[in-house]
Chains A and B, each alone.
Chain A
């Protein structure tokens, strides 16, 4: 009922505006031009993070392709992220794409946006809560799905003893990945905290760990950059450990081709950004709900020696 009234109100306001411009001096533009939609993409990604950079690229490419405006902003702090959502609602955007690393922190703002009639699509994280909050759909791959896929893969490769390298202290998603690996992997999984802003220290710390514990046969890194550090560390320490990683980069793919990295699991961040905006666009022009209320998976895609060649050029462009 409330929703119906709101829609009615919006339609009425829209009609009023149309009428105004119709009688105004500046006639023509709003009648002939296609309505220019504006969507806000609000994530919890840290600036400079290669993964979120690809989400942003995907969203912006979709904006260009559909001729709509896409405003990307991000803040890792849920309180500030919810302010960004409130701001977008106040600006009367036509839809919001949001990543919910901390759904509880964003609940009020997301519900407010939905109540104000702004369509919301969640991406990346927040699959458990998107329905409750009234979002159209969720596009992503939970940390659990990705982590468990890695665990299974390592199990079939016959690995026994894994260290899971966490490059950012206090990041919930990274912790979840490591935990998910342990869910499907029968061997031992230990977490190793490193300082992600100092690659030299990352290499030294992984080297130290490999020297201290010779039983380690696998290093799993949670970002493409750190896989490069890890494979150098393996070499330096004289260990026989294999390296596997989440996320891609051109260098990672080259090392997969060379056999120094076993595989990379790609949750296809570009897809998350692109599909997020696509979902809103379809809602705006055609009233579609992608997935019909079910979440849509963007990954995981495994990159191994077999398919590395095909992916290389896209990674070089910064879109894979």
Chain B
């Protein structure tokens, strides 16, 4: 009775609470709940259906990108071209339809193909040259930004898409990417459903499929992964194509929700995606993180962004508040994770 049986710690049963605390996203979850509670208590509109619809909407497009970027970061790479990609894909559709009269669905497919092509180029360059993805995608970021500006200007003589809503079949595409649903007095935008779907699919891939294991493996220990037969090249190129594909999706969501897109769309947003992924528990070094965490990171960003407006604070301070909140979230995240790791 007194002699406890010695159990190998790898197969030891752990309490549900400990298992929960070990998840990467737990810090972000706690922070999200705290931030929600804070704004719900201090402002009148934040927790109402109409209030929630605006911060969910703001979070959704950031969230889709953050989830894709998180997968890539778990795989040990960065994509700085992700922000410019959202503008690029929207501009492609806008130019092809308003200027050349191409069928809107054909334009959407062309745009997806171009995005995946850029993603593949990013991945192949990183893998073949051995250059850091930071440098390669910084290059594609500038190229895309230049094309967005010069290409659009050269083709349509403007820097923003005009007259999109009068393109044939616009309404069909808007149904898919830009519609909204009235729930209890608040509007739920299509982008929110896309966000939930992307997060669910990414989580399933990460936790339940062989590909998920490959992603963790290539990010954690690339050489070891290659030695045990993980297709490193395929996995990494696939991840870059995934972020590019997500960039396309967000580009479509922006284009069909706002009916316009301009050449500076998305520039600078790439850092927000990375921040959201990090807040959600991704390590900058790769091999660790979660899709739900990144989605929660985006939710925090969205809530803070609109919460400041609801609070009526002077929103010249917005960036400063945002920085403090994000740092706080990361620190909380770290603290919870360390506690969880020591309390085995």
Taking a contact as CB atoms under 8 Å apart, the answer to whether B159 and A199 are in contact is no
Judge whether A46 is part of the interface by a CB distance below 8 angstroms: yes
Taking a contact as CB atoms under 8 Å apart, the answer to whether A251 and B163 are in contact is yes
Given A198-B265, A199-B258, A225-B262, CB of A48 within 8 Å of CB of B312: no
Give which listed residue, A48, A198, A204, contacts B306 with CB less than 8 A: A204
Judge whether A49 is part of the interface by a CB distance below 8 angstroms: yes
In the bound complex, CA of A197 to CA of B273 (Å): 14
In the complex, what residues of A have CB within 8 A of residue B258's CB? 199-200, 203, 228-229, 232
CB distance from A230 to the nearest CB of B (A): 11
Stretch at the interface among B51-59, B113-121, B330-338: B51-59
Residue-wise interface mask of B (46-65) relative to A, using a CB-CB cutoff of 8 A (1 in contact, 0 not): 00001101110110010000
Give the bracket for the number of chain B residues in contact with chain A.
35 or more
Taking a contact as CB atoms under 8 Å apart, the answer to whether A228 and B259 are in contact is yes
Which applies to chain B's interface (DSSP): helix, strand, loop or mixed?
helix
* Interface residue count on the A side (C-beta < 8 Å): 42
Taking a contact as CB atoms under 8 Å apart, the answer to whether A316 and B257 are in contact is no
In the complex, what residues of B have CB within 8 A of residue A310's CB? none
CB distance from B237 to the nearest CB of A (A): 28
Taking a contact as CB atoms under 8 Å apart, the answer to whether A204 and B162 are in contact is no
Stretch at the interface among A109-117, A127-135, A188-196, A282-290: A188-196
Residue-wise interface mask of B (133-171) relative to A, using a CB-CB cutoff of 8 A (1 in contact, 0 not): 000000000000000110001001111101100000000
In the complex, what residues of A have CB within 8 A of residue B259's CB? 228, 251
In the complex, what residues of B have CB within 8 A of residue A236's CB? 53-54, 180, 187
Given A205-B306, A250-B162, A250-B163, CB of A199 within 8 Å of CB of B265: yes
Interchain pairs with CB closer than 8 A, number: 123
Stretch at the interface among B206-214, B215-223, B313-321: B313-321
Taking a contact as CB atoms under 8 Å apart, the answer to whether B264 and A197 are in contact is yes
Q: Which residue among A57, A196, A251 has the maximum number of chain B CB atoms within 10 Å of its CB?
A: A251
Taking a contact as CB atoms under 8 Å apart, the answer to whether B312 and A46 are in contact is no
Give which listed residue, B58, B83, B302, B309, contacts A209 with CB less than 8 A: B309
Taking a contact as CB atoms under 8 Å apart, the answer to whether B153 and A193 are in contact is no
In the bound complex, CA of A198 to CA of B254 (Å): 8
CB distance from B86 to the nearest CB of A (A): 9
Judge whether B261 is part of the interface by a CB distance below 8 angstroms: yes
Taking a contact as CB atoms under 8 Å apart, the answer to whether B261 and A199 are in contact is yes
CB distance from B203 to the nearest CB of A (A): 24
Given A200-B58, A200-B253, CB of A249 within 8 Å of CB of B162: yes
Give which listed residue, B149, B266, B309, contacts A205 with CB less than 8 A: B309
Taking a contact as CB atoms under 8 Å apart, the answer to whether A47 and B260 are in contact is no
Judge whether A318 is part of the interface by a CB distance below 8 angstroms: yes
In the bound complex, CA of A57 to CA of B158 (Å): 10
Judge whether B263 is part of the interface by a CB distance below 8 angstroms: yes
Judge whether B36 is part of the interface by a CB distance below 8 angstroms: no
In the bound complex, CA of A204 to CA of B191 (Å): 13
Judge whether B179 is part of the interface by a CB distance below 8 angstroms: no
Taking a contact as CB atoms under 8 Å apart, the answer to whether A228 and B43 are in contact is no
Q: Which residue among A200, A209, A315 has the maximum number of chain B CB atoms within 10 Å of its CB?
A: A200
Taking a contact as CB atoms under 8 Å apart, the answer to whether A197 and B162 are in contact is no
CB distance from B334 to the nearest CB of A (A): 27
In the complex, what residues of B have CB within 8 A of residue A48's CB? 148-149, 159, 262-264
Taking a contact as CB atoms under 8 Å apart, the answer to whether A249 and B160 are in contact is yes
In the complex, what residues of B have CB within 8 A of residue A254's CB? 163
In the complex, what residues of A have CB within 8 A of residue B263's CB? 48
In the complex, what residues of B have CB within 8 A of residue A209's CB? 309
Judge whether A50 is part of the interface by a CB distance below 8 angstroms: yes
Judge whether B328 is part of the interface by a CB distance below 8 angstroms: no
In the complex, what residues of A have CB within 8 A of residue B266's CB? 197-198
Judge whether A53 is part of the interface by a CB distance below 8 angstroms: yes
Chain B residues 295-344 with CB under 8 Å of chain A are 302, 305-306, 309-310, 312, 315-316, 318-319
Beyond known contacts A199-B258, A199-B261: 9 more, CB 8 A cutoff: A197-B83, A204-B302, A205-B306, A211-B51, A212-B43, A212-B309, A251-B259, A315-B162, A318-B158
Q: What are 5 of the A-B contact pairs (CB < 8 Å)?
A: A48-B263, A198-B265, A208-B306, A251-B163, A318-B158
What residues make up the interface of A, taking CB atoms closer than 8 Å to B?
46-50, 53, 57, 169, 191-193, 196-201, 203-205, 207-209, 211-213, 224-225, 228-229, 232, 236-238, 249-251, 254, 315-318
